A and B are shown apart, each in its own frame.
Chain A
Amino acid sequence: MSKQRLVVVGNGMVGHRFIEDMVEKAGGENYQITVFCEEPRVAYDRVHLSSYFSHHTAEELSLVKPDFYQKHAIEVLLGERAINVDRHKQIVYSASGREVAYDKLIMATGAYPFVPPIQGNDSKGCFVYRTIEDLKAIELCAKHSKRGVVIGGGLLGLEAAGALKALGIDTHVVEFAPKLMAEQLDQAGGDQLRRKIERMGVQVHTSKNTLEIAAEGESCRNTMHFADGSHLETDFIVFSAGIRPQDKLAKQMGLEIAPRGGIVINDFCQSSDDNIYAIGECASWNNSFFGLVAPGYKMATVAVDHLLADGAAPNSQFEGADMSAKLKLLGVKVGSIGDANGRTPGCKSYVYQNEEAEVYKRLIVSEDNKKLLGAVLVGDTSDYGDLLQLALNEIDLPEHPDALILPAHAGGEKPALGADALPDSAVICSCFDVTKGKIAQAVSEGHHTVAELKAATGAGTGCGGCLPLLGSVLNAELAKAGVEVTNHLCEHFAYSRQELLHLIRIEEIKSFDALLEKYGQGYGCEVCKPAVGSILASVWGEHILKPELVKLHDTNDNFLGNMQKDGSYSVIPRMAGGEVTPQALAALAQVAEDYSLYTKVTGAQRIGLFGAQKDDLPAIWQRLIDAGFETGQAYAKALRMAKTCVGSTWCRYGVQDSVGLGVKIENRYKGIRTPHKMKFGVSGCTRECAEAQGKDLGIIATDAGWNMYVCGNGGMKPRHADLLASDLSETTLIQYIDRFMMFYIRTAAPLQRTSVWLENMEGGIDYLREVIVNDKLGFNTQLESDLAKLVAEYRCEWADTLESERQLKRFNHFINSDKRDDNLMFVDEREQHRPASFEEKQRTLQAKGDILHLELEA
C-alpha cells in the first residue's frame, strides 16, 4: 500500500505535538508527512517565551529533538508559508510557488495577537508579543528606551510586562477592564495581584481605554491618550490584549468559520471538509477557541486517533477543555480553577485574605456545599493541585470546605487528599493529559522514581505544577505493589547517606571503623568509604589526611591532586574569583617551566598545571605556597570556585561588585567537603557574563542587591538554576548560602550534584525556599552555626601536608626505591606536551628509564 500524503500547515507547539503523536502511534508510519513552517525555526515553547530574554538562545526553547524530522523522514518547509489550498484538487500552494498534494490536511495555524483599533497602533514604537522575532525586536528597542507600556492586563500581558521589567525598563500595564486577569480572577483576587505587582515597580492602569498613540512627548518618544482625558508618555508599546484564531487561509479555502473566529470543528477535530482537520488555537469547538496549550495538545491527540482509526471508532474525542491554570506572573503565584468568577447560579464562596502575607484565596462551591466549582488563588498556590483534583473529579468536599484554604495556624487542618482517593481517570498532569491510571501503569512497568516517571509518561515536564501529586501517586503505587524503596548506601550500610550523617552527628562518631562496627557490616567498599569520609569531613571539619581517614579517600584526596589518565596529577592553586596578580602569575609560570608541566586555563577561571609526578607534588606546592598560593581543592568533592564577571568596578554595565563578592564567598566556603563538587558563579548585572545560572549557586546583581539562583548545572545534563530569592542584601545572601550549603551537605545522596538533588526533592524549589527562607524545618540557626564552625576550621591542606614528614613519605612512587614511574612519557604538541598513547610508548620500549619527550613520526 502506498503511503498516504499528510500535510500539516503550521509548526507551532500544537502542530509539532500532532507530528510527535503521529509517529509514535502504530499506523503513523503509513503517512508521508510534509510540514509548512512560516517562522524561520521549527516548533518552540511559546509558553516560556519570555525566558528567551534571560537565556538568549532559541535552541533552549526548541521543542524539536535534533534530527527528529530527519529520522522520521518528515519534510519541513522552513520559512515557507502556505498561501492557498485547492480543496478540489487537494493541493497546497506555497508562497515560493511550490505545490504539495495531500490526502489529509491538518490546519495548525495558531493565532495572531489582537491589536486594538487605536489610532497610531502601527507606529514605530509598537510591538506584539508572540514569536522569538517579536522578542528580538522588543529587546533591540529596549536598549535605547526608558519606559515601556504593555496594553493588556491578562495572562499574556503580565507575562510580557515581566519580560520588560527584566530588561530594566520602567514598565506600565494598561488594561481596559477594571481589574487584572479579568478572565481568571475575581475583583478581590485581581486587586491583590495588582498590589503585589505594583510593589515590584510595575505601574498598573485599569479602566483605561486608549484612543490614540501620538509620536510625541516631553520625556519619551510617544504619548498615549486615554478616553478619560488622561495621558501617559512611553518610549514603546507592546500589544498583548489577547489573540484571535489565525483563520485567514481557512476562510480563503471556504471552510466553515465560527462567528467569533476559528475553523469550526467537530468532536474529532474535523473541519467542514472531512479531509481537513483543524487543531489548536485556530480551531473553534462549540463556538469557542482555546488559547492555552493543553487543549491544543488534546486536539492533536484526538485528530491523530481519528486519522489512524480510519473509519473505525477512534480512541478519543474532544470534549472541551478545562481552562484552569497555575502560573507565576512577575514572581506572583496565581491560580485559577473552573468557575473563578462564581457565575454558576446558587453557588457560594469561601474567602481567605491575608494582606500581611499578601495572600488571597477563594473557593466557589455548589449550592449544596458538596462540590468544588472553582477557585482563585493569589500569592499562594500550594493548594492548587488538590483543589484542581477535587473540582475535575467532582470529589465530595469535606464538611467544612474552608479548611481546604485556611493556614495551619488558623486552626485549619487540611484534609489530606491522598492519591488513593483519586479515580484512575483523574488527570494528574493536565499539560500532557496524563491520568493517574497511566502513571500507575508506568510504575508497575518498573519506573520507580519521579525522574523516571517524567521520562516515561511526560507527566510533570510541562508547568511542573503536578510534581508533588506525581510523587504521592508514585509512593502510593509503590506501597500498593509492596515494593520496598531502599536508599541504602551499599551492601555494608543499610542506611541512606542522610541517615548516616545524622547518626555520625548525634552520636559523635569520628571514624569509619566506629561507624562500621556500630551500624554496618563487613569491610566497606569504594562506595561507602569515600561517602563516609566526606561526611566525617563535612561534619567534623577534620583534616582530610588524618591517617585514619586516608584509607577512605579516593586517590585525588589522598594526594591532593586530580589524577590524570597516565597516573600523573594536576596542580591547580586557588585563584578566588579568577583574580591573580602578575607576580603570582610569574611564580606559577616559573614552576610550570621548572617541572615541565603542561599549562592550560581551566574551565573554572584558573590555571591548571598538568603532568606532575606524585613525588614532585610536595616540592611544587612548596614553591606555590611560598609565592602566596594555596590549594584550589580541584581534586575534592568541595567548592571548586566562584566564576565572576568583571563587575561594576571596571565594567561600564555592571551594577554590583561581582568580583568582590565572588572572592568573598569563594574564600568563605572553600575546602568544605560536600556530597559532590560545587561551582559558584557571580554576575555583576543581568547580562550574566559569569553564566551563574549554570552553577550550583548563581548570584546575579540587581539594582537593589543580589538575586540568588540555586541548583544549576553545566556538565552532562545542563540545568538552569532556579531563582530562590531576589534583591537580597549581602548579609542575607550569605545567610541563605550558609543554609543552602549545609542543607545540601545534610540531605543529598553521595555524589549527587545539587541539580539532581533538587529534582528529586519532593516539592522542588518551593520546598527548598520554604526551608531556607522561611525556616520550615526550624533548624536554620543550627545550619548556620555548623557552617560557621567549618569556615573557622579551614586550613590549606597542602600547607599542612608539607609540615608533616610522615605525610610526605607517601608521595614517593616506590616505597623501596627512589626510582620514578617509567611509564610516564610525553609527546610534544603545540609547543607543550601531552601523555604518550599506549602505542607510542610501545614503540620506544627500549628507551625505558627516564621521562621521555618522544618525537612523533611525521
Chain B
Amino acid sequence: MSFETVCHIDDITPGTGVCAWVNGKQVALFRPSRDEQVFALDNMCPFGKANVLSRGLIAEHQGELWVASPLKKQRFNLQDGRCLDDTSVAVASYAVELRNGEVAVQA
C-alpha cells in the first residue's frame, strides 16, 4: 500500500483533527501541536459506530496522547489506536509521512 498525499500540514489547526478520504476509507488525522507531527486513526468510533473521531478532543494521559470520542468520551491512543477505557477495543492506526509540509497517509 502506498502513501497518499491528503493535505498540507497548515490545513490542520494545531491541537485539532480533520478527516481525510484515503483509499476508500475515512481516516482521522490529528495534529496535537504546532510541531510537524500528525497521527492517523480510523475515523469511526467503535462504540457509537459513527464517523466522528476526527472531531474529538486531543488529550494527554499516562504520558501518551489520545483522542476522546465526541460521542461518549472513550479515549483512543493516537499511536496505536488502543482504547484507554476498554482494553478489548481498538481502532486501526495508520502510518503518516510528512514531506515538505505535505501530509501523506498509508491506509
Chain A interfacial positions (CB closer than 8 Å to B): 491-492, 522-527, 529-530, 547, 550-556, 558-559, 563, 565-567, 810, 813-817, 819, 821, 823, 838
Determine which residue in A492, A526, A555, A559 has the highest number of CB atoms from chain B within 10 A of its CB, and name it.
Answer: A526
Is A525's CB under 8 angstroms from B7's CB? no
Complex interface: chain B residues within 8 A of A563 (CB): 52, 55, 70-71
Complex interface: chain B residues within 8 A of A810 (CB): 13
Is B59's CB under 8 angstroms from A550's CB? no
Nearest 7 Cβ contacts at the A-B interface: A551-B15, A523-B60, A525-B59, A526-B68, A567-B50, A555-B70, A817-B21
Q: State in angstroms the CA–CA spacing of A449 and B13 once bound together.
A: 41
Complex interface: chain B residues within 8 A of A816 (CB): 6-7, 20-21
Known A523-B32, A526-B59; contact A815-B13, beta-carbon cutoff 8 A: no
Q: A526-B56, A529-B57 are in contact. List 7 more A-B contacts (CB 8 A).
A: A550-B13, A551-B58, A552-B15, A555-B56, A567-B50, A567-B55, A823-B44
Complex interface: chain A residues within 8 A of B52 (CB): 555, 563, 567
Q: Decide yes or no whether B16 CB sits under 8 A from chain A.
A: yes
Q: Closest approach, in angstroms, between the C-beta of B52 and any C-beta of chain A?
A: 4
Complex interface: chain B residues within 8 A of A567 (CB): 48, 50-52, 55, 71
Complex interface: chain A residues within 8 A of B73 (CB): 526
Q: Closest approach, in angstroms, between the C-beta of A676 and any C-beta of chain B?
A: 16
Q: Closest approach, in angstroms, between the C-beta of A718 and any C-beta of chain B?
A: 24
Is B50's CB under 8 angstroms from A823's CB? yes
Q: State in angstroms the CA–CA spacing of A815 and B16 once bound together.
A: 13
Known A526-B68, A814-B19; contact A823-B51, beta-carbon cutoff 8 A: yes
Q: Closest approach, in angstroms, between the C-beta of A439 and any C-beta of chain B?
A: 35
Is A565's CB under 8 angstroms from B48's CB? yes
Complex interface: chain A residues within 8 A of B68 (CB): 525-526
Q: State in angstroms the CA–CA spacing of A587 and B104 once bound together.
A: 44
Is A551's CB under 8 angstroms from B14's CB? yes
Is A565's CB under 8 angstroms from B60's CB? no
Q: State in angstroms the CA–CA spacing of A508 and B91 once bound together.
A: 41
Determine which residue in B12, B51, B56 has the highest number of CB atoms from chain A within 10 A of its CB, and name it.
Answer: B51
- Chain B residues 39-82 with CB under 8 Å of chain A are 44, 48-52, 55-61, 65, 68, 70-71, 73, 75
Q: Closest approach, in angstroms, between the C-beta of A678 and any C-beta of chain B?
A: 22
Q: Closest approach, in angstroms, between the C-beta of A622 and any C-beta of chain B?
A: 22
Q: Decide yes or no whether B106 CB sits under 8 A from chain A.
A: no
A527 to chain B: closest residue by CB = B59
Complex interface: chain A residues within 8 A of B36 (CB): none
- Chain B residues 17-36 with CB under 8 Å of chain A are 18-21, 26, 29, 32-33
Q: State in angstroms the CA–CA spacing of A819 and B61 once bound together.
A: 34
Secondary structure at chain A's binding surface: helix, strand, loop or mixed? loop
Determine which residue in A524, A558, A816 has the highest number of CB atoms from chain B within 10 A of its CB, and name it.
Answer: A816
Q: State in angstroms the CA–CA spacing of A529 and B73 once bound together.
A: 13
Complex interface: chain A residues within 8 A of B13 (CB): 547, 550-551, 810
Complex interface: chain A residues within 8 A of B33 (CB): 523
Partner of B57 from A530, A813, A817 at Cβ < 8 Å: A530
Q: Closest approach, in angstroms, between the C-beta of B58 and any C-beta of chain A?
A: 7
How many residues of B are counted as interface, with CB atoms below 8 angstroms from the partner's CB atoms?
A: 35
Known A523-B59, A525-B61; contact A550-B21, beta-carbon cutoff 8 A: no
Chain B interfacial positions (CB closer than 8 Å to A): 6-7, 11-16, 18-21, 26, 29, 32-33, 44, 48-52, 55-61, 65, 68, 70-71, 73, 75
Is A522's CB under 8 angstroms from B19's CB? no
Q: Closest approach, in angstroms, between the C-beta of A817 and any C-beta of chain B?
A: 4
Complex interface: chain A residues within 8 A of B59 (CB): 523-527, 529
Complex interface: chain A residues within 8 A of B56 (CB): 526, 555
Q: Closest approach, in angstroms, between the C-beta of A311 and any C-beta of chain B?
A: 56
Complex interface: chain B residues within 8 A of A815 (CB): 6-7, 11-12, 18-20, 29
Instruction: Please list 17 pairs of residues, one from A and one from B, whose beta carbons are closer than 8 Å in the complex, sorted by A's number.
Output: A525-B57, A526-B57, A526-B59, A529-B57, A530-B57, A551-B14, A551-B16, A551-B57, A555-B52, A565-B71, A814-B19, A814-B26, A815-B6, A815-B7, A815-B12, A815-B29, A838-B49
Q: State in angstroms the CA–CA spacing of A522 and B55 once bound together.
A: 22
Determine which residue in A523, A550, A563, A813 has the highest number of CB atoms from chain B within 10 A of its CB, and name it.
Answer: A523
Is B51's CB under 8 angstroms from A821's CB? yes
Q: State in angstroms the CA–CA spacing of A365 and B66 once bound together.
A: 66
Complex interface: chain B residues within 8 A of A566 (CB): 50
Q: State in angstroms the CA–CA spacing of A529 and B56 once bound together.
A: 12
Known A563-B55, A565-B71; contact A525-B50, beta-carbon cutoff 8 A: no
Determine which residue in B6, B11, B15 has the highest number of CB atoms from chain A within 10 A of its CB, and name it.
Answer: B15
Determine which residue in A814, A817, A821 has the highest number of CB atoms from chain B within 10 A of its CB, and name it.
Answer: A814
Determine which residue in A525, A553, A563 has the highest number of CB atoms from chain B within 10 A of its CB, and name it.
Answer: A525
Q: State in angstroms the CA–CA spacing of A817 and B55 once bound together.
A: 17
Q: State in angstroms the CA–CA spacing of A529 and B55 once bound together.
A: 14
Q: State in angstroms the CA–CA spacing of A551 and B57 once bound together.
A: 7
Is A550's CB under 8 angstroms from B6's CB? no
Q: Closest approach, in angstroms, between the C-beta of A140 and any C-beta of chain B?
A: 50
Is B18's CB under 8 angstroms from A525's CB? no
B18 to chain A: closest residue by CB = A815
Complex interface: chain A residues within 8 A of B49 (CB): 823, 838
Q: State in angstroms the CA–CA spacing of A527 and B15 once bound together.
A: 15
Complex interface: chain B residues within 8 A of A556 (CB): 70
Complex interface: chain B residues within 8 A of A551 (CB): 13-16, 57-58
A559 to chain B: closest residue by CB = B55
Q: State in angstroms the CA–CA spacing of A819 and B26 once bound together.
A: 11
Complex interface: chain B residues within 8 A of A553 (CB): 57
A551 to chain B: closest residue by CB = B15
Q: Closest approach, in angstroms, between the C-beta of B63 and any C-beta of chain A?
A: 8
Q: Closest approach, in angstroms, between the C-beta of B9 and any C-beta of chain A?
A: 11
Q: State in angstroms the CA–CA spacing of A565 and B47 once bound together.
A: 10
Complex interface: chain A residues within 8 A of B65 (CB): 523
A549 to chain B: closest residue by CB = B15
Q: State in angstroms the CA–CA spacing of A491 and B61 once bound together.
A: 8
Is A525's CB under 8 angstroms from B55's CB? no
B4 to chain A: closest residue by CB = A816
Q: State in angstroms the CA–CA spacing of A774 and B102 once bound together.
A: 61
Determine which residue in B14, B16, B29, B57 has the highest number of CB atoms from chain A within 10 A of its CB, and name it.
Answer: B57
Complex interface: chain A residues within 8 A of B18 (CB): 815
Q: State in angstroms the CA–CA spacing of A810 and B68 once bound together.
A: 19
Q: State in angstroms the CA–CA spacing of A529 and B6 once bound together.
A: 28
Determine which residue in B6, B48, B50 has the highest number of CB atoms from chain A within 10 A of its CB, and name it.
Answer: B50
Q: Closest approach, in angstroms, between the C-beta of B70 and any C-beta of chain A?
A: 4
Q: Closest approach, in angstroms, between the C-beta of B57 and any C-beta of chain A?
A: 4
Q: State in angstroms the CA–CA spacing of A449 and B65 once bound together.
A: 33
Q: State in angstroms the CA–CA spacing of A440 and B61 once bound together.
A: 35
Q: State in angstroms the CA–CA spacing of A817 and B27 once bound together.
A: 12
A512 to chain B: closest residue by CB = B15
Q: Closest approach, in angstroms, between the C-beta of A489 and any C-beta of chain B?
A: 13
Q: Closest approach, in angstroms, between the C-beta of B91 and any C-beta of chain A?
A: 14
Q: State in angstroms the CA–CA spacing of A556 and B56 once bound together.
A: 10
A817 to chain B: closest residue by CB = B21
A492 to chain B: closest residue by CB = B60
Q: State in angstroms the CA–CA spacing of A555 and B45 once bound together.
A: 14
Partner of B15 from A525, A550, A823 at Cβ < 8 Å: A550
Q: State in angstroms the CA–CA spacing of A492 and B61 once bound together.
A: 9
Partner of A554 from B14, B48, B57, B58 at Cβ < 8 Å: B57
Q: State in angstroms the CA–CA spacing of A821 and B44 once bound together.
A: 11
B73 to chain A: closest residue by CB = A526
Complex interface: chain B residues within 8 A of A547 (CB): 13
Determine which residue in B33, B58, B59, B71 has the highest number of CB atoms from chain A within 10 A of its CB, and name it.
Answer: B59
Partner of B26 from A522, A554, A821 at Cβ < 8 Å: A821
Complex interface: chain B residues within 8 A of A819 (CB): 21
Q: Closest approach, in angstroms, between the C-beta of A189 and any C-beta of chain B?
A: 56
Is B55's CB under 8 angstroms from A555's CB? yes
Q: Closest approach, in angstroms, between the C-beta of B107 and any C-beta of chain A?
A: 12
Complex interface: chain B residues within 8 A of A554 (CB): 57, 70
Complex interface: chain A residues within 8 A of B6 (CB): 815-816
Q: Closest approach, in angstroms, between the C-beta of A333 and any C-beta of chain B?
A: 45
Q: State in angstroms the CA–CA spacing of A813 and B55 once bound together.
A: 10
Q: State in angstroms the CA–CA spacing of A849 and B49 once bound together.
A: 17
